[in-house]
Structure 1
């Protein structure tokens, strides 16, 4: 049982997994982009223009600007999550792609890391597209918004690693509903994506600071609106800690599932 406690073994072999997934995705690139990119943009336009007329300004900015930064963060979370859940689980169980990879000079650690990095890449692609749309709508203050991209990359690793834990223990696609209902949806609603954290009750607002998405929003929103994030290193540390811890746990659980 030592493989459950030993740290993940890092190797550049994970790049082969990443490249394999990239080549497959290129064949379905257009419908994939439309699906992952269309819904967040629809939320941005519908809520931004609709509720924006009623809400007015929030924290010194229009609701459209406020929402735009939140949608980019939520898109990174959902993009990484869907890829690390549904797509990775399909490769693990239905297609038996992981089993085929293990027949090559590759181990479970390489596969898990490759899947996580690929899911983070998908999140970065989706959020970059939305950032371009936000800039075209005048929702970006200046070039500091480019610093959003490395933050989104780190956030993608974080949410992909958390989702990979669920994938490693799931027995069917239905199990994912527990994660969406009990974890993802509350985090989406309580992390400052749609309304300020300050508008929540004190205890709820304080509890939201234990959620990684809240720290992503607190980094991204100032960068998009011409400001400087407060306590940036603390936010980055929280996100990175979630990513590393979840990767370790996901790797251990995947070993338990695949190594008998």
Structure 2
């Protein structure tokens, strides 16, 4: 295995697909329980808070609270699904099962493995987000044509969160390390980015901080599309998510090169 800088990049435009396909074939054996696990938490939030608080809150930003929450739940589900796949599952394949070592003893490079992993995590996140959109649409909470606009944003958000989380995996000595990321970053991001209530209700300094968070930009793309509204500053939101993805993937590649290739 080469230790040159090229080792952190995919060896070609298509070789990483073999890593994606390998993960897909393994996941397919347990697809149903995996999907149910990914959907259970966001659905509890959607129906529990949506119908419970919705009876007291009424409308938020001109729509029923449950419709407002449904769009935010899609984005948060994408974040959690991509993150957990890039954290726990990827770490298992890298550290416990040594699957990555086996893959890199084939013509595949570390870059192929890394890019295949984040694309697989983004794919699972997209599947989770689309499933919630379908449920929300069936309940009349979102517009069907808006789903077509929202799907590219879901894919981008899933890829960005996968790239961020894989950095934590590259640094993690064990599974317990992921609790810090989940508790100190993912949970506050859900509370500050407008999933459950409009960001405008937060103090100005908190709004400024939350405007830098990737979940805010994901919600800013997904929620208007699902509610049939124009997306404001769409290019900015796309650029920020792409920036998080590029920086995260680059940092993870360098860290994993040092950890796995010496």
| Alignment TM-score, normalising by the size of structure 2 | 0.96
> Residue 9 of structure 2 contacts residue 110 of structure 2 at CA under 8 Å; is this kept in 1?
no
In the TM superposition, residue 182 of structure 1 has moved relative to its aligned partner by 1.4
> Residue 148 of structure 1 contacts residue 223 of structure 1 at CA under 8 Å; is this kept in 2?
yes
> Residue 70 of structure 2 contacts residue 136 of structure 2 at CA under 8 Å; is this kept in 1?
yes
Range with bigger deviation, 139-148 or 2-11:
2-11
TM superposition outliers: structure 1 runs of 4+ over 2 Å:
2-8
| 1:242 aligns with one of 241, 244, 247 | 244
Q: What is the root-mean-square deviation in Å for CA atoms of aligned residues?
A: 1.5
Partner of 2:98: 96
In the TM superposition, residue 37 of structure 1 has moved relative to its aligned partner by 1.0
> In structure 1, what is the Cα distance between the partners aligned to 2:139 and 2:3?
50
| 2:211 aligns with one of 209, 212, 218 | 209
> Residue 38 of structure 2 contacts residue 128 of structure 2 at CA under 8 Å; is this kept in 1?
yes
> Residue 3 of structure 1 contacts residue 252 of structure 1 at CA under 8 Å; is this kept in 2?
no
Name the CA shift for 1:4/1:233 in 2 (closer, same or farther; >3 Å): farther
Partner of 1:37: 39
In the TM superposition, residue 38 of structure 1 has moved relative to its aligned partner by 1.7
| Helix, strand or coil at the partner of 1:135 | helix
Unaligned residue ranges in structure 1 (runs of 5+):
none
> In structure 2, what is the Cα distance between the partners aligned to 1:143 and 1:163?
31
Partner of 1:65: 67
> In structure 2, what is the Cα distance between the partners aligned to 1:8 and 1:243?
15
In the TM superposition, residue 4 of structure 1 has moved relative to its aligned partner by 8.8
User: How many pairs align?
Assistant: 259
In the TM superposition, residue 33 of structure 1 has moved relative to its aligned partner by 0.5
In the TM superposition, residue 118 of structure 1 has moved relative to its aligned partner by 0.1
In the TM superposition, residue 5 of structure 1 has moved relative to its aligned partner by 6.9
Name the CA shift for 1:116/1:145 in 2 (closer, same or farther; >3 Å): same
- 1:1-260 aligned at under 5 Å gives the runs 8-10=8-10, 11=12, 12-260=14-262
